[in-house]
Amino acid sequence: MLSRLINWNMLLRAAALLVPIFVVERVTGDTKWLSVLVVTVSAFVAVERGRLAPLGAVLYAFAIGVAFVAVNASYGTPAAYIGVFVLLAAACASLLAGGSEMRWTGFFAFIPVMYFGCETAREAHGQAYLNAGIAAMPYALAATLPVIVASIVSYAMQREPRSEHGWLALWLVSEPPSPGRREAIVAGVLAVGLASALVAWHPMSYQEWFVCQPPVL
């Protein structure tokens, strides 16, 4: 019964990728590493289900790093906060141009940026939100390294290249754009825009979970 509900292969592989983060936390005693576990898991799902090639995994990490800093910079300024999340929702939904499976990549880019970004900004206690984001960004990027390394190793072990572009490929499998992607962008922008506006003008505890509830994709 459980075998039908749980993909044990993916679960065990994801757990293995978390081991380096736990080891670093134990060695350094820096509990900040425990906060980025969600980034590692999200990166794994985004790369695995979105079928990203190693270069695609690297670009994913770079994108969430930039978005993470933008979220922190906008925190505390309602108009900027809303604008950043609307753009983020639109960008995530636009990934459907790469195929329907990119829905996973978009959603699991939105989640870690929201969660870790808002948590970092809260810990700044109103002081230098941008600086707090820049200081924490290395943690977010480092959290994606196990996934990137695993992607590189897996791709290198392929006996037959899956793409004619070789190491310059972004996806392992090329797909036509997903139908309804324009509607998904509009729906994501409206839903996230409304949710982020509510929490920007009427602050609430752990607002990232409220904003994550709308259907981004």
Q: Which residue has the higher pLDDT, 133 or 139?
A: 139
Please report which confidence band the pLDDT of residue 61 belongs to, taking 50, 70 and 90 as the band edges.
very high
The percentage of residues in the chain with a pLDDT greater than 90, rounded to a whole number, is: 30
The pLDDT, as a whole number, for residue 162 is 56
Please report which confidence band the pLDDT of residue 4 belongs to, taking 50, 70 and 90 as the band edges.
low
The pLDDT, as a whole number, for residue 207 is 67
The pLDDT, as a whole number, for residue 21 is 94
List CB contacts of 116: < 8 A, sequence separation 6 or more: 35, 36, 38, 39, 68, 136, 140
Please report which confidence band the pLDDT of residue 181 belongs to, taking 50, 70 and 90 as the band edges.
confident
- Positive or negative CA dihedral for 91, 178, 146, 123? positive
Q: Which residue has the higher pLDDT, 41 or 75?
A: 41
The pLDDT, as a whole number, for residue 57 is 95
> DSSP string of 70-95?
HHHHHTT-HHHHHHHHHHHHHHHHHG
Angle at 130 between CA 126 and CA 132, to 5 degrees: 70
Decide: helix, strand or coil at residue 52.
strand
Q: One-letter amino acid identity for 47?
A: V
The pLDDT, as a whole number, for residue 147 is 96
Q: Is 214's pLDDT higher than 60?
A: no
Lowest mean pLDDT among 59-73, 77-91, 115-129, 177-191: 115-129
pTM here is 0.86
Residue among 46, 157, 69, 53 nearest 116 (CA): 69
Contact 94, 81 (CB under 8 A): no
Q: For residue 36, what are the β-bridge partners?
A: none
Q: Which residue has the higher pLDDT, 183 or 45?
A: 45
> 14 — alpha (psi -120 to 50), left (phi > 0) or beta?
alpha
Contact 162, 172 (CB under 8 A): yes
| Pure H helices in the chain | 2-5, 8-28, 32-35, 37-49, 54-74, 78-94, 102-123, 129-156, 181-201, 207-212
Lowest mean pLDDT among 21-25, 97-101, 166-170: 166-170
Query: Domain boundaries in the chain?
Result: 37-212
List CB contacts of 93: < 8 A, sequence separation 6 or more: 106, 181, 184, 185, 187, 188, 189, 216, 217
DSSP-assigned letter for residue 106? H
The pLDDT, as a whole number, for residue 142 is 94
Phi and psi torsions of 205, nearest 5°: -70, 135
